[in-house]
Structure 1
Amino acid sequence: MSDEDISLDEKRVYADREGATTAFLATGAGVARVEVSADIVGEFALRERCTARDVVADDGRLAVATTEDVLVGTGEGFEATGFGPADAVGYHNGLLAAGEGRLARYEDGWETLAHVGDVRAIDGDMVAAADGIYRLDGTHVGLDAVDDVTTAGGPLAATATGLYYLANGWMTALEGAFRVVDSDGGRAHAATADALYEREAVDGEWAEIELPVEEAVAGVAYADATYVVTESGTFLANAGDGWRHRSLGLPAVAGVAVP
């Protein structure tokens, strides 16, 4: 089967090399690729010039929301999907995207699922938007002013008034103006403009952790280590012995993903 025979939402970048992890960043200059070995941040390069707003990875697949279109990663680079300008991307039973008030899934072409305005993030079957959390069918399921959502290990939502978890309704985990949240089902992190918090594995309590840079966190991702990227372009990695970091000099970083 040739690459042309594979549907857009099935294409994979197969990014990791032996002994290294490859992370992709969405930035104002484009999509950047960063090689990381344990907690050592190595080579990096701009792979696609664009204005990237979001990036997501799932099972070797990579998708990027840009001001022009949704791009999917291939072995050779990136391919346009014809969605148009997008604010957020995700994977749940296929490739998902949101932009200009439309939430859609790619199935031999884009199929509109619902109309949701000002979407900030998609994760699993949940959508974070300016006026709350939505399901993929457009059903509003609570909260307001949501900047980010993660569903692995149980839904968490970062909002302008606090970090929430879903139990018997949305419950407050931490108060504050949260902008980023991510989890791999075990590890979990959430960030405000000036602080990063980690959920303790033993008791599930949240605690602020100290980073070696005073920069706003733009995204968190996981592999063998925990990766954090800041809005001003610093990449940080922690493989269990503390944080190591490197400035990449990339502007307006919006997120990070590891295929």
Structure 2
Amino acid sequence: MDHDLTIDEKRVYADRTGAAEVLVAAEQGLVVASLSGDLVGEFGLDHRATVRDVAATGDRRVVATDEDVLVGSYDPTDFGPAVAVGFDHGGAPLAAGPDGRIARLSDGWTTLGTVEEPRAIDGGMVAAADGAYTVDGGLRDVGLSAVADVHGRGMPLAATAAGLYRLGNGWMDERDGAFTAVSADAGDDRAAAVGESGLLVREAVGEWSPVEAPADVVDVGFTDAATVAVTAEGSLLADAGEGWRTRALGVTGVSRLAVQA
């Protein structure tokens, strides 16, 4: 079901109970869309800049742009250009620069270390070309290579060029093949990954099944009620158990999404 509204057209559904905000990083800026179940309500371009990544926790968000890392009401932080952002386990913003610098924001930025080609940050973990890292007092290499994405909360997951991995007693194989994105909900009850064969969902630990999506997905996440995904061409997909609904957001060059309940 495709709705061809442009980004300048906004519509609010009457039933907003349990609505979540989906934040979409795109070439034109940050899109914020209200999602109630699988229905997309009001959406629009909330901040204009080339956005590389976005992360959210509670009522806070952090945005990576080609110019700086933004927090609050898109307040600058003097980090400089960023390629990935997230939060550590204590809720402090983390950012990665194109030069590999990883830093934490408290009273200003504190550099924690460097990695090779940082690609994603989540829940105190960093995905990079030279492996996966955890953030504590500094950076600790926890193995793997060619890591494209990580889910660092609860039961950690890593999407790599060689396969999908789960962290337990060391990294354990979940699926073979090249993967580019992975996510799980807050309770680790639902998980999904994007790989060379398309979108997969986890039905139980170690058991992943393919799911047919109406378009090629670049990132995936979860609200309380639905699985949500985005395409590089700017479509938002939502499935609350009755199939996918699709909404064109009117942007291009989409790279990441984040969910803010």
Q: What CA deviation, in whole Å up to 9, does each residue of 1:39-85 have, x standing for no partner? A: 112222111111111110001111111111001133xxx11111111
With over 3 angstroms needed to count, the CA separation of the structure-2 counterparts of 1:19 and 1:219, relative to structure 1, is closer
For residue 97 of structure 1, what is the aligned residue in structure 2? 95
Aligned-pair CA distance for 1:249: 2.5
For residue 44 of structure 2, what is the aligned residue in structure 1? 45
Q: What CA deviation, in whole Å up to 9, does each residue of 1:10-49 have, x standing for no partner? A: xxxxxxx644222111111100111212111222211111
For residue 121 of structure 1, what is the aligned residue in structure 2? 120
Letter in 2 for 1:96: L
Aligned-pair CA distance for 1:209: 0.6
What CA distance in whole angstroms lies between the structure 1 residues aligned with 2:240 and 2:225? 7
Task: Give the TM-score taking structure 2 as reference length.
Answer: 0.86
> Structure 2: which 5+ runs fail to align?
1-15
Aligned-pair CA distance for 1:125: 2.1
Task: Give the TM-score taking structure 1 as reference length.
Answer: 0.87
Q: Which segments of structure 1 move beyond 4 Å, counting only runs of 4 or more?
A: none
What CA distance in whole angstroms lies between the structure 1 residues aligned with 2:259 and 2:79? 23
For residue 64 of structure 2, what is the aligned residue in structure 1? 65
Indicate if the aligned counterparts of 1:220 and 1:229 stay in contact, CA closer than 8 A.
no
Q: What CA deviation, in whole Å up to 9, does each residue of 1:166-193 have, x standing for no partner? A: 1222121111110000011221000014
For residue 207 of structure 1, what is the aligned residue in structure 2? 209
Secondary structure at the aligned position of 1:43 is classed as strand
Q: What CA deviation, in whole Å up to 9, does each residue of 1:214-258 have, x standing for no partner? A: 323233233322211111111011112221111222111111112
What CA distance in whole angstroms lies between the structure 1 residues aligned with 2:175 and 2:227? 21
With over 3 angstroms needed to count, the CA separation of the structure-2 counterparts of 1:143 and 1:19, relative to structure 1, is closer
Indicate if the aligned counterparts of 1:162 and 1:177 stay in contact, CA closer than 8 A.
yes
For residue 144 of structure 2, what is the aligned residue in structure 1? 143
Aligned-pair CA distance for 1:124: 1.6
Letter in 2 for 1:152: R
Aligned-pair CA distance for 1:156: 0.7
Aligned-pair CA distance for 1:160: 0.6
Q: Establish whether residue 80 from structure 1 lines up as the match of residue 76 from structure 2.
A: yes
For residue 234 of structure 1, what is the aligned residue in structure 2? 235
Indicate if the aligned counterparts of 1:219 and 1:230 stay in contact, CA closer than 8 A.
no
Q: Establish whether residue 189 from structure 1 lines up as the match of residue 192 from structure 2.
A: yes
What CA distance in whole angstroms lies between the structure 1 residues aligned with 2:134 and 2:226? 31
The percentage of aligned residue pairs carrying the same residue is 50
> Structure 1: which 5+ runs fail to align?
1-16
Letter in 2 for 1:111: T
Indicate if the aligned counterparts of 2:17 and 2:36 stay in contact, CA closer than 8 A.
no
What CA distance in whole angstroms lies between the structure 2 residues aligned with 1:85 and 1:219? 24
Letter in 2 for 1:207: S
For residue 5 of structure 1, what is the aligned residue in structure 2? none
What CA distance in whole angstroms lies between the structure 1 residues aligned with 2:252 and 2:130? 28
For residue 13 of structure 1, what is the aligned residue in structure 2? none
Letter in 2 for 1:244: R
What CA distance in whole angstroms lies between the structure 2 residues aligned with 1:139 and 1:19? 38
Indicate if the aligned counterparts of 1:149 and 1:158 stay in contact, CA closer than 8 A.
yes
What root-mean-square deviation, in Å, do the aligned CA atoms of Structure 1 and Structure 2 show? 1.6
Aligned-pair CA distance for 1:158: 0.3
